Structure 1
Amino acid sequence: MSDSTQPLIRFLLSDIDGTLLRPDHSLSQANIDAVRQLRESGIHFTIASSRPPRAMRQQIEALGIDLPTVAFNGANIIRPDGSLLKAHRIAPEAARTSLELFAAERVSVWVFADDQWLLLDPQGDYVEHERNTLGYDFVQVEHFEGYIDRIDKIVAASKDFELLKRLEVQLNPLIADAARAARSQSYYLDVTALDANKGTALETLSEELGVALAHTAAIGDAGNDVAMFLRAGLSIAMGQAETAVKSQASYVTGSNLEDGLATAIERYILPR
C-alpha cells in the first residue's frame, strides 16, 4: 500500500500482548506517548485481547481508554462502565468437543466463565505465567461440566508448540458450525464462539463509533489478530509475528521489544 492510497484513519484497534506490551508485559513510555498523540489528533483508540476483562484494567487505566474494549478475542465487548455491549459464549456442544479433544492430549486446559479462571491441574504448563499476566489467581475445579453453558473461552496451553498447531487444524472442522480455535500465542490455543473474533469486534466498534471500516486500522502479532486485519482499512503486523500473520497485513512494523506500535502509529496512522 503506497502513501497515496493509504486511507485516512479515524480509529485504531490494538492487540495487547505481543503488540502494546513488551515481552516482559510492561507498557513502554514510547507506546503511552504514541497513544496520547492519537487522542490529541482526534483518532479513536482501544484494545482487543484474548485476556479476560479484569486482566485488561491496568492497561485501560494507564492509557486513559474511555471507549469499549474487547476481551476473550471478541467474546466480550465491555463498555467503560463495565457493562456488556456484546457477549458471545461457546455453544455447549462445541465446548464439550473441545474439552474432550484437549483431555486426550498433553496440554494444560483452562476455562474462563463467570469472570473466573478455572482449571483442573495447578501444575500444568504456563499456569504461573498466566497468573502473572492476569494479575489474579485461578480456581481449581474437579470438572468443567457445571460451567458448560456459559463459557467465554477455553484455552489449551503447552510447551509443545507443534502439538498446538496440530490441535488447531484438528479441532476447527469439528466445531466449525459454532466455534473457532486460533492461537493467541505460540503456546496458547484459544477456543471462542464463532462470532467471538477480533474482526467482528472491529465491525461492532466501528459501527458504535460511526467510523467506516475503510477508515479503521488494526495492529497485532498473532493468528487471532488476522480476523481484524481482514476487515480493517489498514492492518499492521508486529515484527516478531509469524510469516503467515505478516502476509495478511498491509504493513509490518518493528517488534514489541522495539516499540513497534509507537513506530507504526507515527509512520502509518497519525495525519501528516
Structure 2
Amino acid sequence: MAIKAVFFDIDGTLLNDRKNVSHSTQKAINALKKQGILVGVATGRGPAFVSPFMENLGLDFAVTYNGQYIFTRDRVIYQNQLPKSTVYRLIKYASDRRREVSLGTSVGLLGSNIINMGTSRFGQTISRIVPKKLTRMVERSFKNIIRRIKPQNFETLTTIMREPVYQVVMVATEGETGKIQEKFPHIKITRSSPYSADLISQGQSKIKGIERLGNQLGFDLSEVMTFGDSENDIEMMVGSGIGVAMGNATEVVKQSASYITDSNNQDGIAKALSHYGLIHLDSENDFLSSDENFNKVRDFHRLMDEETNNTPRVYGLEEAGHRADFKLEEIVEFIYAGSQNDQEFEEAVQKLHQAIDKAAAKVQSKEHPESPLIGQVDALVDLLYLTYGSFVLMGVDPGSIFNIVHSANMGKIFPDGKAHFDPVTHKILKPDDWEERFAPEPAIKREVDRQLQKALSRSTQSDKSEIR
C-alpha cells in the first residue's frame, strides 16, 4: 500500500526517555516530507504541549486530546468540548473520592499537581521503571506527598471549567477503570499511564481524528502508518494501514501491531520507516545513488539479503540466467494482461519464443563485448529505458506505483523475522498471508484510476477552453 500520512504518538514514541526527539527521527521526518508524505502526531497531550513540536519539526497537523482537538499550523480543524454538566459531575465524583483531576483546555492541562508530576519527565520515567504490582503503592505515595504540599481545590477546578474542556484526566489505577465507566457510561476511558485515565466523549479517539483529517486532506486510513507504545494507541494502530509498535511498548500493544520496531531510545521510528521503504537508513558502507528508486530497492535487498554490494561486479552465467528468468516472467505477465483469450496468449508466447531466437542470432552476429561487466550494465540500462518508454506510451506515471510495489515487497518477511528464498534461484518467497496483507494490485488499481480521472478532467477542461 502507498503511505500518504504518518502519525506518531508523543511520549514513549516520538520522544526518547530524555524527552528529546532523536536525530534519526528528525532526519526521518524531513525525508518523509521531501517525498510529499504528510506527518503529524496523534496524542493524549493537549495543543499547547504539541505546538512547539509542530514548529520545530515542521509537522503538518496534530490530533490532540485523543481526537478531541485537531489542528494544523494555521487553523483548527475540529474541536469537541465535553459538556459542562459532564465535567462538573466528573469533578464532583473525583472530589468525593479524593481523586485528583486535571482539565484539558486549549492552553494546557490544568488542575492537579499530582497529574502535572505524572506527565512530567520524572513521572514518565518512574512509570516505566516501577513494576506493575507496585503501581497502587507508588500512586498512594505520590498523592500523600503532593497533598501535604498543596491539596487540590474543588473551587479552582470549577473556575477552570468555565473555559472549554476537551479532556479530563483523573488519577486512577487500571483496576478502577470499570467503576468509573459504570458511573459515566456516556464517556470513553483510555489510558497512557498506569496511574491515570483520560476521559473523553464517546465516539472520539485518535483513529477517529486521523480519519477526520483524511476526509479533509485526501487520504484513506489504509494509506496511514501509525506509531505508538501505550494502550491508547491500540485503536489507531489496528485501524490504520500499518500500525508500528515501539520496542518499549507494552505487550498488549505489540500484539496489536503490524510490525514491532526498536525502542524510542534506539532509533525505532527510523528503523521502521526504513523497513517499509519510506526512508533510507544511513550506512557507512553504502553509497547513496541519485536514483531514489535504486536506493529503495537496495533497502529491500539489505532487509532480505542482510547485505548489499557496493563494488561493480559481473554476474556469472548461472546467476545472470536466474535474473533474466525473473524479468522474463514479468514480460510474459505483461503479454498475458493484454490477451483476450488463451489462444491469443499462446500465439503471443510463440512470437516471444521467435523473438528470443531472433535476438540470440542478432547478438551472436556481433563482436562479443570486450568487458562482460560493461555489456551487462548496457543491457540492463536499455531494459530500464525501454520500461520507462513503455510507461510513456501508456500515459501512466510509474512513480507512485513503484512505491506501492516497493511497500508490498518489503512485506515479504516471514513470522520468524527473516526472508525465505527459493533454494535454486534464490528468488524471495512470499509468506502465506502476503496476498491478504500486502498484495499491491488493489492499490495499483486505485492509483491508475486516479490518473485516469485526472486525465479525463484535463481533457474536459481543454474541451471547454476550445469552445470558448
Residue deviations 1:231-272, cap 9 Å, x none?
211111111211222222211111112121121111125154
Matched with 1:235 is 243
> Does the alignment pair 1:166 with 2:183?
no
Unaligned runs of 5+ in 1: 1-6, 134-138, 158-162
> Does the alignment pair 1:98 with 2:90?
yes
Aligned-residue RMSD, C-alpha: 2.5
Aligned residue for 1:70, secondary structure, equals strand
Question: Residues 70 and 203 (structure 1 numbering): CA distance in 2 closer, same or farther, change over 3 Å?
Answer: same
The answer to which of 200-209 and 148-157 deviates more is: 148-157
Q: Work out whether residues 118 and 141 of structure 1, in 8 Å CA contact, stay in contact via their aligned partners in 2.
A: no
Deviation at 1:165, TM superposition (A): 0.3
- Tell me the TM-score normalised to structure 2 length: 0.49
Greater relative contact order, per chain length (Cα 8 Å cut-off, separation 6+): 1
Q: Work out whether residues 28 and 259 of structure 1, in 8 Å CA contact, stay in contact via their aligned partners in 2.
A: yes
Residue deviations 1:145-192, cap 9 Å, x none?
3416831111123xxxxx520222222233333x21111223331111
Q: Work out whether residues 206 and 216 of structure 1, in 8 Å CA contact, stay in contact via their aligned partners in 2.
A: no
**Higher percent of residues as helix:** 2
Letter in 2 for 1:168: T
In 1: Cα distance, 2:254 partner to 2:166 partner = 28
In 2: Cα distance, 1:166 partner to 1:233 partner = 32
Matched with 1:152 is 166
- Runs of 4+ aligned structure 1 residues displaced above 4 Å come to 104-107
Matched with 1:69 is 62
In 1: Cα distance, 2:108 partner to 2:218 partner = 33
Aligned residue for 2:240, secondary structure, equals coil
In 2: Cα distance, 1:74 partner to 1:21 partner = 20
> Does the alignment pair 1:110 with 2:99?
no
In 2: Cα distance, 1:166 partner to 1:98 partner = 18
Question: Residues 90 and 63 (structure 1 numbering): CA distance in 2 closer, same or farther, change over 3 Å?
Answer: same
Q: How many residues align?
A: 250
Residue deviations 1:39-59, cap 9 Å, x none?
122221111111111111221
- Tell me the TM-score normalised to structure 1 length: 0.82
Q: Percent identity?
A: 25
Q: Work out whether residues 32 and 39 of structure 2, in 8 Å CA contact, stay in contact via their aligned partners in 1.
A: yes
In 1: Cα distance, 2:98 partner to 2:234 partner = 27
The answer to which of 188-197 and 96-105 deviates more is: 96-105
Deviation at 1:198, TM superposition (A): 0.2
Aligned residue for 2:188, secondary structure, equals strand
Q: Work out whether residues 199 and 231 of structure 1, in 8 Å CA contact, stay in contact via their aligned partners in 2.
A: yes
Deviation at 1:60, TM superposition (A): 1.3
Matched with 1:160 is none
Question: Residues 110 and 126 (structure 1 numbering): CA distance in 2 closer, same or farther, change over 3 Å?
Answer: closer
Aligned residue for 1:169, secondary structure, equals helix
Q: Work out whether residues 95 and 154 of structure 2, in 8 Å CA contact, stay in contact via their aligned partners in 1.
A: no
Matched with 1:142 is 155
Larger Rg: 2
**Higher percent of residues as strand:** 1
Residue deviations 1:192-235, cap 9 Å, x none?
11233101011011112211221111111111112212321111
Q: Work out whether residues 254 and 260 of structure 1, in 8 Å CA contact, stay in contact via their aligned partners in 2.
A: yes
Q: Work out whether residues 61 and 71 of structure 2, in 8 Å CA contact, stay in contact via their aligned partners in 1.
A: yes
